[in-house]
Amino acid sequence: MTTDTVTDTPRLRRLGWAGVEIALGDTLLLIDPLENTAPLAPVMGLPRRPLPPVDAPAGTHALITHLHPDHYDRELIARLAVSGTVGCHTPTASALAEHGVTAEAQELGEARRIGPLTVTPVASLDWRGSDCDQVAWIVEGAGVRIIHCGDTMWHGNWWQIARDHGPFDVAFLPVNGVIARFEGYEANVPVTLTPEQAVEAAAALGATAACAIHYELFDNPPAYVEQPDIAARFGRAARERGITPHLVADGEAVPLGGGHVIPA
């Protein structure tokens, strides 16, 4: 199918953990898909429930926000790279090459076409600071624009992203506000967005709806401690901001528009 003949609306689906699926026409794109959790156990512990298998037929494309193993499933990405493309921020391409994956490397703000979709990496931030090479991904197609924010902390780039690329129909945002104990990086400060910070990020981005990702799967004190009452806090904060909140189970569709909201 050529890009000129695509007339349908992108279909969004939340996968396990931070994974998101975007389909438009014959194009299938996955962001941060995760199947293999064994590498996570030493820090994050075992998942509270099995992750759904990732349905990735030949020709499926992938984007990764960064190389943490809960966002970069090395075995899965290598499989996808055989017949589809793998997109990454330019500084991570060499690490992927060492793993046998030839990636489509993009600089911040550089757009690339994948069939009827356009994908663009923008600034993000994690606990390692400016050298983290983490990005958020903007995906546009058929008049719909979404952003996937990986496992970012709060940062000051939200407003510039909104000016350059917004507004957004859906912002996928981490909400577990985890307190983590990494060697050399120990502080009682969340290293991902809290539920309230995620909503504020969605507001700054000009997002109509916010979909929670990256929560209620791993909790492994004292190394990895998740925030309490995530669903209630996220829903309450979003409604106060006039943003449609989505808490979507693994494998379920994420609606465009105002449907499927969290009960009050």
**pLDDT tens track for 183-222:** 778 889 999 999 999 999 999 999 999 999 999 999 999 9
Q: How many CB atoms lie within 10 A of CB 44?
A: 22
Beta bridge partners of 11: 23
Dist CA 62 CA 261 (whole Å): 28
Q: Is 195 a domain residue?
A: yes
Q: Residue 149: is it exposed, middle or buried by C-beta count within 10 angstroms (0-12/13-18/19+)?
A: buried
Q: What is d(CA 175, CA 186) in angstroms, rounded to the nearest whole number?
A: 20
Q: How far, in Å, CA of 125 to CA of 133, rounded?
A: 8
- Structural domain count, the chain: 1
Which of 99, 102, 101, 151 is CA-nearest to residue 124?
A: 151
Mean pLDDT, the chain cut into blocks of 10 residues (264 residues total): 57 96 97 96 94 92 96 96 96 95 96 98 84 88 96 95 97 96 85 97 98 96 95 97 96 76 39
Residue 259 lies in a domain: no
Q: How far apart are CA 209 and CA 198, in angstroms?
A: 11
Residue 256 belongs to a domain: no
Classify 227 as helix, strand or coil. coil
Please check whether residue 198 lies inside any domain of the structure. yes
Domain with 137, as residue range(s), is 3-247
In a domain, 260, yes or no: no
> What pLDDT sits at residue 187?
86
Tell me: the pLDDT tens digits for 224-256? 999 999 999 999 999 999 999 999 999 999 998
pLDDT, position 185: 80
136 closest CA partner among 93, 115, 165 = 165
Is residue 121 domain-resident? Answer: yes
In a domain, 106, yes or no: yes
Specify the pLDDT at position 121. 98
Considering only CA atoms, give the Rg of the chain: 17
Which pairs with CB-CB distance under 8 Å and at least 24 residues apart come from 260-264?
261/235, 262/231, 262/234, 262/235, 262/238, 263/235, 264/235, 264/239
Answer yes or no: are the C-beta atoms of 48 and 63 closer than 8 Å: no
Is residue 58 packed enough to be buried (19+ CB in 10 Å), middle (13-18) or exposed (0-12)? Answer: exposed
CATH number at residue 197: 3.60.15.10
- Per-residue model confidence (pLDDT) at position 133: 81
The reported pTM is: 0.93
Amino acid (one-letter) located at 56: A
Task: Kindly give the pairing relationship between strand 224-225 and strand 207-213.
Answer: unpaired
Does 254 map to a domain?
A: no
Pair type for strands 168-174 and 253-254? unpaired
